[in-house]
Every structure is written in structure tokens, then in C-alpha cells.
Amino acid sequence: MRSFSKSKALFKKAVNLMPGGVNSPVRAFKAVGGNPLFISRAKGSRIYDVDGNEYIDYVLSWGPMILGHAHPAVVGALRKAIERGTSFGAPTPLEIELAEMVLKAYPSMEKIRMVNSGTEATMSAIRAARGFTGRDKIIKFEGCYHGHADGLLVKAGSGATTFGVPDSPGVPKSYAKNTITLPFNDPAALKAVIEKDWKEIACVIVEPVVGNIGCVLSRPGFLKTLKTLTKKHGIVLIFDEVMTGFRVAYGGAQARFGIKPDMTCLGKVIGGGLPVGAYGGKREIMEKIAPEGPVYQAGTLSGNPIAMTAGIETLKILSKKGVYDKLEERALELESALKDAAQKSRTEVKFYRAGTMFCTYFTGMEVVDYESAKSSDTVKFGKFFKGMLERGINLAPSQFEAGFISMAHTRADIAKTARAAFEVFKGL
Ligand code: HOZ
């Protein structure tokens, strides 16, 4: 049995200092029971808690650490960058370097603005879309989570669903009324609303793979319909690729599925583990942003040189030939191994994957939207989570989050994970 006594003692202190003892709700173990692990360090595919326990990590800081933790090239570049100063509040060549790398990988983006988080990216992109179209309403899909800005916490996934508050108190009704929510993967519902109300609709924002209710893939044709309808009615199509960007392919979901949105939001991987977000898109939309245009958006630390450095070094490695083939191969190994473990243990699970994002649901239903994701037996998930943790496998402490694989995950890691899953499945 592993000891968690130091984590427990720290959590006891933390709950008196921070709401729920954490600085972001999804970190708490509320949905699975117990208290969060306090982490002391991480390297490659491994993460270590303050009690000295080692885990194979599939959380990867909720996605950014695609190279694995503390990659030597990133750490080395960061050391040098810190020596030169940590923030200037003025332009640096690093911003240009990262912007060029991103725009080259995402041809749908002609201009980009760096911000500090995914929340900032989506909030600002929506403001730009509203400023550009002169319309107020937005469409989002049930279970998609686009950060915690007012107006987006409506039928939101991630921690909002995990903790049963998809519609957060504190969001004025007057904000929420401008957010239309529709089921994901339902082209008829989308068509009906857009055909009727398009004159009022500024944008549709979507996670092209819904990573905030696990890992929900779009049905064939759904994203294409989205593109056709938005284009026809002058509605801005925003892909929230905070999770999928540089993750499901170097060019993100838009490259993987061959759909060009009008705007894209990024975060996670482009910061290489530091706080970064970005939004961008068509020139005529981005030209509305201050100081070029009247739509205001700003940030003291935006384009921070340390964060830019981590992003640049990460993308340099990811852009090398064969990296995504290797990632895909490893992810497929995990998929086959977990499906095999489920079959051999006669456990009813559904496993979904897009590149190196994945989720295991305990349901007999195909998971295609918010409602079907919620059909998963979360009590079983909690037992699965705990059993895996006891065996040294760190998964997200919620059914409604994606798992991630990094370049540092080895065949041996996958094999160990599958053995643990078999044992846990058998005991469920
Ligand atoms: N948005 C991520 C979860 N799906 C992680 C950030 C957080 O909420 O802590």
C-alpha cells in the first residue's frame, strides 16, 4: 500500500487557505474521493508526489506536456532565457518566432495575438467575432468547455460538469441569454437554429474533439456541416483547439479533419508547460483587435519571453519528421492494450481516442455527446481511478476529462498501464 500521509497533511493546510484546497477545481479529488496528490517533481512520463510515490502520468498538466515532463531542450532554453530577464512588457523577437511557427502550422490563421491562458483566448476570440459581425449571440455545444468566462459557463464540461454546476451561479442571466447551447453531433438542431436566428449569431465555438467531457469525436460530416452553415450566414466559426492544437496533429484538429475555421484558440502545448494562450484567424477579423481596430484586449504578461521560449522549443521538437507518427503509434498501443484488458476481464467500457487524447467510459452506450457521456457509471470510474493510482498510474480525477500520452511514454509504460487496468477491471 502506498502512503499518502504528506499529501494528506498538506491538503489539510491547503483547504484553510484556498477554496477546496486547490487553485483549479479539476485538481481536487472530489469526484473520486480522497485528497489530491501534492507533487514534488516530474520527469519524462513520470510524476512523483511528496510522499515519494512514482506514477506514470497521463494527466500531463492537463495536456501541455506532450514532450514529457522537464524535457532537457526546454529546460536548457528556459535556463538561458531566465538569465536575460523574465518580463519586459514590450515586444521581443521571441513573440515573432512563436507567431511565425504557429501561423505556418495553422494556415487558417493569418494573424495571432498571444495571451496567458485558454480562457483568455476563447473570451477574446468571441469578443472579436462580436465586434466583427456586430451580432451578440453565440452558439456553443453542451459539454464543451471554453474556459471560465461569463457566458461560457453554460452547459459547460470539465470541472463544471464534474462538480454538477454546468451553469455557474454568478453568471448574470443577461449574459447567459446570449449563449445558445446545442447538442454536439446534431446537425439538424444546428441547422434549425442557424437558419432561424442567423442575423443575431456572431459565432459558433466548438471543441472539434470534445476533451472536456472525456474524449468525444465528431460524427462524419458534423464539422463540415458546421463550416457550411456558418459560412453561408456570415457567422464566425471558432475552433477551440486549446486541447487539440499541436496535440491531435501538428496542425491540430483542423489539419486532422481538413476543416478551416475562421478563428482558432490555442493554449496548453504552445506554452510548453508555461501559461500561454493565443487566438487568431482571418486577417479581416484580427484587424478589429486593438490597437489596429476598436475591439479592446490587453495583457501585462502577454507574449512573456519565458513562456514564448518554452513554446518555441516545444514546437521545434514537435515539428521534426515522424514525431506524430510515433505518438500515434504509442497511442494506438495504449488503445489496443486497454481494450484487450477490458475484453479479457469482461468489463463493459467504451474507449475513445483522437491522436494522443483518450478517455475510457463505463457505459454500454456509444458516447457522442453530453448526455451519452453522462451515462458513464462515475462510481465505477472512481474505483477505476483509485485502483490505477494505487498501482502507480496517474489519470485525471474525473470521468469528464481526457487523458494524454507524451513522447516520453514508452512501450513498457503502456504495458504496465494495461496490466494495472486488467487487475482493476477484474475487481470492479
Ligand atoms: N481545462 C482543463 C480541464 N479540462 C484544465 C484546466 C483546469 O480547469 O484546471
Mean pLDDT by 10 residues, the chain (428 residues): 94 97 94 94 98 98 98 98 98 98 98 98 98 98 95 88 83 90 97 98 98 97 98 98 98 98 98 98 98 98 98 98 98 98 97 98 97 97 97 97 98 98 97
Q: What local confidence, expressed as pLDDT, does residue 160 receive? A: 82
Report the residue among 158, 161, 215, 242 best suited for mutation to probe ligand 1: largest number of ligand atoms under 8 A from its CB.
158
Q: Enter the pTM of the model.
A: 0.97
Q: What local confidence, expressed as pLDDT, does residue 84 receive? A: 98
- List, for residues 174-229, the tens digit of each pLDDT value: 888 999 999 999 999 999 999 999 999 999 999 999 999 999 999 999 999 999 99
**Which residue's C-alpha comes closest to atom 5 of ligand 1?**
62
Q: What local confidence, expressed as pLDDT, does residue 6 receive? A: 97
Q: What local confidence, expressed as pLDDT, does residue 163 receive? A: 80
Q: Is 268 a catalytic residue?
A: yes
- List, for residues 393-415, the tens digit of each pLDDT value: 999 999 999 999 999 999 999 99
**Which residue's C-alpha comes closest to atom 6 of ligand 1?**
62
Q: What local confidence, expressed as pLDDT, does residue 259 receive? A: 98
Q: Is 340 a catalytic residue?
A: no
Residue 285 C-alpha cell reads as 477579423
Q: List domains and CATH numbers for the chain.
A: 5-70+321-427 (3.90.1150.10), 72-318 (3.40.640.10)
Q: What local confidence, expressed as pLDDT, does residue 167 receive? A: 83
Q: Where does ligand 1 bind, in terms of residues with CB under 6 Å?
A: 24, 26, 62, 145, 158-159, 212, 401
